[in-house]
Amino acid sequence: RRRFRLLEQGADLQAAVEHAEQAVAATPDGGQRARRYHDLAVTLSMRHRHGGDPSDLDAAVATFTSALAAAAPDERLRYAPDLARAFRLRYERDGDPADLDGWISAAASAAGSAASGWSGLPEVAHLLGVGLLERHERDANPRDLDAAINAYDYGSITAARTGSALRPALLVGLGTNLTRRFARTQDPADLDRAVHAAEAALVQLDRGAPLYAAGLALLGHATHLRCSASGRRSDLDRAITAYQRLVALAGTASDDRVAHLTELAACLSARAQATGELNDLLAAVDAYTRAADIATGPDQRGVVLTGLGAAWTAVYERTGEPQYLSNAVAAQEAATREAASPNPR
């Protein structure tokens, strides 16, 4: 295996598989057998990555399972994460719910048996959280969402203790799913925790980091939700600032930019409604207009144009200028045409 990593010669990998199979066959039941199974499963996984043969992944799953079954209780932590990863790969290939359940079960076994200071725990917690969210998307079982939140929370706490680079990803996952749960429970504590998670993630991320935009989007979304729930003006100000920064970061014609401009416009419109500030309404019109210029597809354009029409209507009601009402009518008519267009979905 070592020579294969250096030279990537398939013959070396084939020889490594054969050697590992012979080692399993020659090892009696006992402490070493689990290790031999694990060595074989790792080698089969390498061959699957190299050659793409589906049977190698199937064999790896079966052999990782044998390694876990043969392991002593204090050794199971060594093997369970690899089994979870193999189940995940096969689930992503085949979509078999049994593989998703196996992924979650193996990751939960590893997370449950690990000491709180184990350096691998943040990765396992992330793996568990992703699996639980995948199952929640399929079954809409709220217990899976609750369990995913707990996994991300525990993983982020452990990541802080161990200095893991995964902490920002765990925090963003935690906050994102707290906002999802708020939609069901309306518990203000979930929004408070989501805002805190976004803030903690952003502190650790450079502006150019891949997760930075996700952290800003979480902060904008969570503070906007919290303002809607509590009427706290400072949260709306923070949401606007977050979306302004996101617009500056996004590509000039990306779907992300359309979404951020639309959210920014909605927040500006909400603040104008609360304060009567005309400049916020005009800024909302500008944001909706920029979003409409780059939006694609009837669904996306329809949402943006509807918002633009509402913003122009609010400007007209504030100023009494007939041209603004004409602009509102034109935007609403365009939104209606988009709704009548063939939907590519």
- Residue 3 has what pLDDT? 53
pLDDT value for 111: 93
Q: Spell out the residues 6+ positions from residue 120 whose beta carbon is closer than 8 angstroms to its own.
A: 81, 114
The pLDDT of residue 168 is above 80:
yes
| Statement: residue 115 has pLDDT above 90 | no
Query: If you average pLDDT over residues 260-281, what whole number do you get?
Result: 96
Token pair, residue 149, equals 């939140």
Long-range contact pairs involving 28-36 (C-beta distance under 8 Å, separation at least 24)? 29/70, 31/72, 31/75, 33/70, 34/67, 34/68, 34/70, 34/71, 34/72, 34/75, 34/79, 35/67
Cα distances from 292 to residues 227, 258, 261, in angstroms, run: 26, 8, 9
Binned at pLDDT 50, 70 and 90, residue 8 comes out as low
> What is the identity of the amino acid at 233?
R
Task: Read off the pLDDT of each residue in 140-158 and give the average, rounded to a whole number.
Answer: 97
pLDDT value at 201 more than 50: yes
Q: What does the pLDDT look like over 20-53, one tens digit per residue? A: 999 999 998 776 899 999 999 999 998 998 888 9
Do 195 and 157 contact (CB within 8 A), yes or no? no
pLDDT band with cut points at 50, 70 and 90 for residue 345:
very low
pLDDT category of residue 88 using cuts at 50, 70 and 90: very high
Tell whether the model's pLDDT for residue 116 goes beyond 80.
no
- The string of DSSP codes covering 152-193 is HHHHHHHHHHHT-TTHHHHHHHHHHHHHHHHHHH--HHHHHH
pTM, rounded to two decimals: 0.88
Mean pLDDT of 246-253: 82
Q: Which pLDDT score is estimated for 37?
A: 95
In this structure, of 84-98, 106-120, 259-273, 322-336, the range with the lowest mean pLDDT score is: 106-120
